[in-house]
């Protein structure tokens, strides 16, 4: 399996396993030294794509925590310019909750703060975190297109979207990535055609929550068939889940979260796992029977 894939239609190649940086900044986050070590270990292990968001933080008084952390970690690295950082705007964290705000004003304000927090002049990939039901998608994406025209962002991505929403966004600007929840146990983006659409339009599909998600990964990792395959390949069940995703489509990138060094170093090893056709069939069958 190819360990690097082109990011959308850019000439940038990213490692198929990226770092989902969210657990470094939510409630229960590790101390700063450990968080910086996780990012450093990811880069040392060959990773070059980090996913962030302004709202990866505790609450609205802490917005930008994750981006500032990434900027601090990269400032210590010699080859930081080779690391692609993707961030997002379009949500808020009132009193620690999660709400959507895709208004052009909030997106602009968020992007300008992200530029400061990431300590950069231009963000390589800026993603709309989620469509806002109260704001026409064309207004939200239109503002991102203006931020791109002004040079504040290089490329635009979407998150938590359907094929129809991607098509609507594409009618006004170029989109290089789509980030939806996707893992062995939650396959909506395969079922509703989003992954296929991305393949056909040279858009990277970034699978978020790829090992089951922030709250469910530990339970998912105990799955019987995953354990059997992990034993066969002498790897972790997490690596089997990630290898399965990467095998499903040449457009997929996975961004497992990590708050521990051991988690991200283990996940990075998934790029070396070669699942057989039979392994893939077994995993598909189990998922299809609903007992996975």
Ligand X SMILES: NC(=O)c1ccc[n+]([C@@H]2O[C@H](COP(=O)([O-])OP(=O)(O)OC[C@H]3O[C@@H](n4cnc5c(N)ncnc54)[C@H](OP(=O)(O)O)[C@@H]3O)[C@@H](O)[C@H]2O)c1
**What x/- string results for residues 186 through 225 when contact with ligand X is judged by CB under 6 A?**
----------------------xxxxxxx--x--------
Q: Which is nearer to ligand X, 12 or 180 (CB)?
A: 180
Smallest gap, in angstroms, from Cβ of residue 240 to ligand X? 10
Q: Which is nearer to ligand X, 197 or 238 (CB)?
A: 238
Return d(Cα 108, Cα 254) in angstroms, integer: 28
Smallest gap, in angstroms, from Cβ of residue 217 to ligand X? 4
Smallest gap, in angstroms, from Cβ of residue 27 to ligand X? 12
What are the percentages of helix, strand and coil residues in the chain, rounded to 5? 45, 15, 40
Return d(Cα 106, Cα 132) in angstroms, integer: 12
Q: Which of 189, 235, 231 is nearest to 210 (CA)?
A: 189
Name which of residues 42 to 81 contact ligand X (CB under 6 A). Answer: 51
Asked if 258 and 38 touch (Cβ cutoff 8 Å), the reply is: yes
Buried/exposed code over 187-223 (b: 16+ C-beta within 10 A; e: otherwise): bebeeeebbebbeebebbbbbbbbbbbeeebeebbeb
By CB under 6 A, residue 87 contacts ligand X? no
Size of the site for ligand X (CB under 6 A): 28
Asked if 70 and 118 touch (Cβ cutoff 8 Å), the reply is: yes
Smallest gap, in angstroms, from Cβ of residue 290 to ligand X? 20
Q: Which is nearer to ligand X, 150 or 228 (CB)?
A: 228
**What x/- string results for residues 243 through 262 when contact with ligand X is judged by CB under 6 A?**
------------xxxxxx--
Asked if 258 and 50 touch (Cβ cutoff 8 Å), the reply is: no
Smallest gap, in angstroms, from Cβ of residue 52 to ligand X? 7
Return d(Cα 217, Cα 94) in angstroms, integer: 26
Buried/exposed code over 161-170 (b: 16+ C-beta within 10 A; e: otherwise): bbbebbebbe
Name which of residues 101 to 140 contact ligand X (CB under 6 A). Answer: 129
Name which of residues 263 to 282 contact ligand X (CB under 6 A). Answer: 263, 266-267
Q: Which is nearer to ligand X, 141 or 258 (CB)?
A: 258
Q: Which is nearer to ligand X, 131 or 212 (CB)?
A: 212
The residues pairing with 85 across neighbouring beta strands, listed in sequence order, are 50
By CB under 6 A, residue 148 contacts ligand X? no
* E strands, 38-96, in order: 49-51, 84-89, 91-92
Q: Which of 162, 82, 173 is nearest to 126 (CA)?
A: 173
For 80, the token pair is: 């930081």
Q: Which is nearer to ligand X, 71 or 150 (CB)?
A: 71
**What x/- string results for residues 13 through 32 when contact with ligand X is judged by CB under 6 A?**
-------xxxx---------
By CB under 6 A, residue 238 contacts ligand X? yes
Q: Which is nearer to ligand X, 8 or 277 (CB)?
A: 8
Which residues contact ligand X (rule: CB under 6 A)? Answer: 20-23, 51, 129, 159-160, 179, 208-214, 217, 236, 238, 255-260, 263, 266-267
């Amino acid at each position: 399996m190819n360990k690097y894939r082109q990011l959308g239609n850019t000439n940038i190649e990213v490692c198929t396993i990226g770092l989902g940086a969210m657990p470094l900044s939510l409630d229960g986050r590790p101390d700063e030294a450990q968080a910086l070590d996780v990012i450093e270990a990811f880069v040392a292990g060959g990773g070059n794509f980090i996913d962030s968001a302004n709202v990866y933080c505790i609450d609205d008084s802490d917005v930008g925590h994750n981006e500032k952390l990434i900027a601090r970690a990269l400032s210590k690295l010699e080859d930081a310019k080779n690391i692609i950082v993707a961030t997002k705007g379009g949500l808020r964290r009132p009193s620690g909750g999660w709400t959507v705000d895709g208004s052009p004003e909030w997106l602009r304000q968020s992007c300008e703060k992200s530029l400061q927090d990431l300590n950069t002049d231009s963000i390589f990939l800026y993603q709309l975190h989620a469509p806002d039901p109260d704001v026409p998608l064309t207004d939200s994406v239109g503002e991102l297109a203006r931020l791109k025209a002004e040079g504040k962002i290089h490329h635009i991505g979407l998150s938590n979207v359907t094929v129809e929403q991607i098509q609507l966004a594409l009618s006004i600007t170029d989109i290089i990535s789509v980030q939806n929840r996707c893992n062995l146990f939650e396959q909506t983006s395969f079922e509703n055609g989003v992954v296929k659409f991305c393949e056909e339009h040279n858009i990277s599909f970034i699978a978020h929550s790829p090992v089951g998600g922030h709250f469910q990964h530990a339970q998912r990792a105990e799955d019987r068939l995953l354990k059997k395959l992990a034993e066969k390949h002498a790897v972790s069940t997490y690596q089997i889940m990630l290898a399965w995703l990467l095998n499903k489509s040449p457009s997929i990138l996975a961004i497992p979260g990590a708050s521990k060094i051991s988690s991200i170093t283990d996940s990075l090893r998934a790029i070396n796992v070669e699942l057989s056709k039979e392994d893939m069939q077994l995993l598909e069958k189990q998922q299809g029977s609903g007992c996975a």
